[in-house]
Amino acid sequence: MEFQSREQADNAKLVKAQSHIWNHIFNFINSMSLKCAVELGIPDVIHNYGKPMPLSQLVASLQIHPSKTSFVHRLMRILVHSNFFTTKDVPSNDLEIEIGYVLTDSSMLLLKDNPLSLSPLVAAMLDPIMIKPWNQMSTWFKNDDPTPFVTEYGTPFFDYASHVPKLNEIFNDAMASDARLVSKLLKKSN
């Protein structure tokens, strides 16, 4: 009996360790789902609806390929789990209950018309140009480059951005959006 309980405890530790690794492997899905929501304008669509937005209305309001409509529910589940949206039961036209999506404080900061919008920060930090250097970390640790960005692109970030107008623009927009939020917080604390 003692052997069996020890084996069960060892198995539980093993599953917990595996789960920990899996969570880190797939954690990028949360970031990419956030980026997708911002690019599709989901926070703005829900905000403009003015009340909890049923999935059917959300899908109808998004400019997505018809073959992808069944996947919006999965995207929203990730975003709800990540606390970017909450859900509220709403009655549908046929008197059944449907899930409605509601903004959270975090998703309010993703609205394009919000003066404190952090959508530009999401766009910049999750742009492939900014993500790619993270794949070079182990190489960077083995060389004398000052940053993984230099390892990936052969030049420092600001030199690279000065030759890539798209990157320069999204980075400047990101820094400005973040600075507006920080400035507002600093003004309130004084």
Domains and CATH numbers, the chain: 1-104 (1.10.10.10), 115-190 (no CATH)
At residue 91, the 3 state secondary structure works out as strand
Cα–Cα distance for residue pair 121/35, rounded to 1 Å: 10
- Output the six-digit token pair for 122: 């999401």
Asked if 43 and 111 touch (Cβ cutoff 8 Å), the reply is yes
Supply the pTM of this predicted model: 0.88
Residue 143: its pLDDT value, please?
98
Q: For residue range 167-184, list pLDDT tens digits in order.
A: 999 999 999 999 998 998
Q: pLDDT tens across 105-129, in order?
A: 999 999 999 999 999 999 999 999 9
Q: For position 3, what pLDDT does the model report?
A: 66
42-49 helix and 28-40 helix, angle to the nearest 10 degrees: 60
Q: Would you give the distance in Å from CA 22 to the centre of its chain? A: 18
CA 120 to chain centre: 12
Q: How high is the mean pLDDT in each 10-residue block of the chain (190 residues)?
A: 79 94 95 98 98 96 96 98 96 85 98 96 96 97 98 97 95 95 82
